[in-house]
Amino acid sequence: MREIDASVLTEVIEKLCIEANKRLPEDLELCMKSACDAEKEMLPKSVMQDLCENLQAARELDIPVCQDTGMAIVFAEVGQDVHINGCFEEAVQEGVRRGYLNGLLRCSVVKDPIRRGNTGDNTPAILHTRLIPGDQIHLTIAPKGFGSENMSRLKMFTPAASEKDIIDFVVETAKLAGGNACPPMVLGVGIGGDFEKCALLAKTALCRSISQRNQDPYYKELEEKMLEVVNQLNVGPQGFGGRTTALQVNIEQFPTHIAGLPVAVNVGCHVTRHKNITI
C-alpha cells in the first residue's frame, strides 16, 4: 500500500490549474498554426493570426490564454493500492482554491445557480473520481469556459437513428454555436451510456489529445466525417467565415440500452485547455 499525503494533491492541483490556464496543449497550438496557414481569405486568416499571437503573448507575459479561466473540472483516477492521508475531496478543492487565488485567475463560480453570489475562489470544482488498479493517481485538470459550454447539447435518439442523423446533430450543434463558442472549436462527442454518462463521455472526449484518434476504426472514420462536414459550415475563426470552424472532433463511446442511443456534444472553444499528471 502506497501512502500519499493529501497536501501533495493540493500542491499538484494548484500548479495544474495555473499551467492549464496559461499554456495550451502543444498539439492544439500546432493545429491552430496549421489552420492559420490553411486559410486563404484575408479576414479569417487575419483572425487566426491574432489567435496565434494571443497564445504567444500569454506565454511571454505569463498570463492566461483567455480571460475566462473557467470552472475547474477535475478527473481523478485513484489507484486501489493508494492510501491518502487526509480528506481527498477537501485536498482537491483546496488545490483549486489556491490555484485560482495564487495564480491570479478569474474566479467565476457562483454559490447558487439561481440566486448567484460569487464564491470568491472558483470552488467548488467539479470532481469525477474513478478507482483503477495500481498505486498511482492520474489527475487531469480541464478549466472550462462557459461561452462554449453554453453551446453544448444532448439528444436522446432512438435506436432507429442513422449515422447521418448523428452527424447532422453534431453539425447542427456547431452551426447553432457559431461565433458564440469562440471558434475554431474542438467538439467532444459522447455516444452511448445513459443521459448523464453520454454527457460525461463528451466532456472526457475534450480532454483527449486532438492528435489521438479513436482506437476503433469505425469511430475514427466517424470523427473524420464529422470534422469534414462541420468545416463546410463557413462559420470560421471567431464566426468571420473561413475553412476552419472546428480543429478536431473527438468521440468517446460506451455500451447503451437496447431502446436507446444517447448523443451529447460538449463544445470546446479554440482554447480547449487540459493538463494532466501522474503521481
Q: Which residue type occupies 44?
A: P
- Can you tell me the mean pLDDT for 184-206? 98
- Can you tell me the mean pLDDT for 10-38? 96
Give residue 117's pLDDT band: very low, low, confident or very high (50, 70, 90). Answer: very high
Q: CA-CA distance, 126 to 76, in Å (whole number)?
A: 11
**pLDDT 10s digits, 101-114:** 999 999 999 999 99
Where does the chain hold its CATH 3.30.1330 domain(s)?
147-272
Query: In the prediction, which pLDDT does 51 show?
Result: 97
Query: In the prediction, which pLDDT does 93 show?
Result: 98
Q: Quote the distance between the C-alpha of residue 162 and its chain's center.
A: 27
Fold of 147-272: 60s Ribosomal Protein L30; Chain: A; (3.30.1330)
Give residue 266's pLDDT band: very low, low, confident or very high (50, 70, 90). Answer: very high
The overall average pLDDT reported for the chain is 97
What pairing do the DSSP bridges indicate for beta strands 261-268 and 185-193? antiparallel
Give residue 153's pLDDT band: very low, low, confident or very high (50, 70, 90). Answer: very high
* Sign of the Cα pseudo-torsion (61, 67, 68, 72, in order): positive
70's grid cell? 473557467
Query: In the prediction, which pLDDT does 88 show?
Result: 97
**pLDDT 10s digits, 65-92:** 999 999 999 999 999 999 999 999 999 9
**pLDDT 10s digits, 42-63:** 999 999 999 999 999 999 999 9
- Can you tell me the mean pLDDT for 199-223? 97
Give residue 235's pLDDT band: very low, low, confident or very high (50, 70, 90). Answer: very high
Query: In the prediction, which pLDDT does 231 show?
Result: 98
151's grid cell? 453551446
Percent of the chain with pLDDT over 90: 99
Model-wide pTM > 0.85: yes
Residue 269, judged by CB atoms within 10 A of its CB (0-12, 13-18, 19+), counts as buried
149's grid cell? 459550454
Q: Which residue type occupies 216?
A: D
